Amino acid sequence: METNYETIVIGGGVVGSGIAYHLSERYKEGVLVLDKKYPMSGTSGSTQAWVWVHNKTPSWYAEFSMYSAELYPYLSKKIGDVEYKRTGGLSPFFNESDREKAEKLAESYRKIGIKIKVLSREEVLEKEPYMNPEVAGATYSSIDGNVNPFRLIDMYMRAAKRNGVRYSTYNKVTEIKKQDGKYSVVSDKGAFECKNLILAGGTWSREIGDMLGVKIPVNQLRGQILVSEPLKPFLNFTISGLRQANNGEVLMGYSMEEAGFNRATTLDVIQETANMAVQYVPGLRKAKIVRAFSGIRAMPEDGFPILGKVPGHENLYVAATHSGVTLSPLIGTLITELIMDGETSIPIDRYSLRRFG
């Protein structure tokens, strides 16, 4: 295998593969993606894969997410059907006291062009007839949706490979050195050299940064999800907490635990998830659960994406974020612009690693 590349991307998940694909659209120099296992074996393969905008705060982060969601229909046209559906997103609440918070959210978003409606109980039931009739209301936005994460990453990989990107999988990076203006990336399958190095290691960003003496403050957050047997299509929207996939399966779960890299599923959180699901959609009581799975999400210390040039290191870039599925088309576009043009079409200074001092 060739050992010299213009650009190496460490990490082949939704963020790394998204960057590799977008780079390959404009850039015919050598690009190599290194993955310690096979893409989708980490966070990108264990998610409900909402493309979610409307409850992100502050509003500038919601706006950033909105730009990415806007790219999805175009992305599907370019790389193939990734089962992206802009269903609209519904966040139900069960206490009338939450309505004020919902109204405040809608008000603060009106200024940036994200239209949120605060629905009454009747309006929720009209949109989603299987929702618990005890629901008090919901926030609703038409921009939200979901995607099939497996198809998304598979299609990114296929399209990138067609454009000349190389993938080396089951190949863990063990050491990174800077020599004569180039990066030397030592891996289980040998050493590779490159000019541009992109760190897209997701949950492992901290460990990869350490290899270069760069502190990338990304922690781990576990989420557990239940999957039902295929059911006839009956849910119309992406509900915050559950969604129905194309094949009829319902995916349920929205949990957060600090458990390091431990990917076990646990009975207490499975039970809470079951309680949440029957509270939202009581008709699911009789649905059969086929499996439970858990995933470890990357969570930067302040919750926001870490994007762009690594200060003080020439030709070194980082992309580490929560909500990688939502943000991947935008991050791929922006990192490509940064490398090719030296600037980005929308500002990303706010997301610089510099903010951590």
Tokens 């706006």 correspond to 63
> Is 254 in contact with 50 (CB distance < 8 Å)?
no
Cβ proximity to other proteins: between 80 and 178 the closer is 80
Nearest approach, Cβ of residue 118 and other proteins (Å):
11
Under the criterion CB under 8 A, does residue 272 sit at the interface with other proteins? yes
Cα–Cα distance measured from residue 36 to residue 211, given in angstroms and rounded to the nearest whole number:
15
Cα–Cα distance measured from residue 328 to residue 11, given in angstroms and rounded to the nearest whole number:
13
DSSP 251: E
| Contact map string, positions 24 to 63, toward other proteins, x by CB under 8 A | --------------x-xx---x------x--x-xxx----
Under the criterion CB under 8 A, does residue 344 sit at the interface with other proteins? no
Cα–Cα distance measured from residue 28 to residue 198, given in angstroms and rounded to the nearest whole number:
17
Distance from first CA to last CA of the chain, Å, rounded?
Answer: 39
Under the criterion CB under 8 A, does residue 226 sit at the interface with other proteins? yes
The only residue of 43, 141, 196, 228 in contact with other proteins, by rule CB under 8 A: 228
Indicate the Cα dihedral angle 39, 43, 47, 53, nearest 10°. -110
Cβ proximity to other proteins: between 239 and 330 the closer is 239
The only residue of 240, 321, 326, 336 in contact with other proteins, by rule CB under 8 A: 240
149-162 helix and 14-26 helix, angle to the nearest 10 degrees:
30
- What type of residue sits at position 222? R
Tokens 């003080």 correspond to 312
Nearest approach, Cβ of residue 146 and other proteins (Å):
14
Window of 72-80, 223-231, 311-319, 322-330 that interacts with other proteins by CB under 8 A? 223-231
> Is 321 in contact with 56 (CB distance < 8 Å)?
no
Contacting positions for other proteins (CB under 8 A): 38, 40-41, 45, 52, 55, 57-59, 91-93, 98, 101-102, 104-105, 107-108, 139, 150, 154, 157, 167, 169-170, 224, 226, 228-229, 240-241, 253-257, 265, 268-279, 284-293
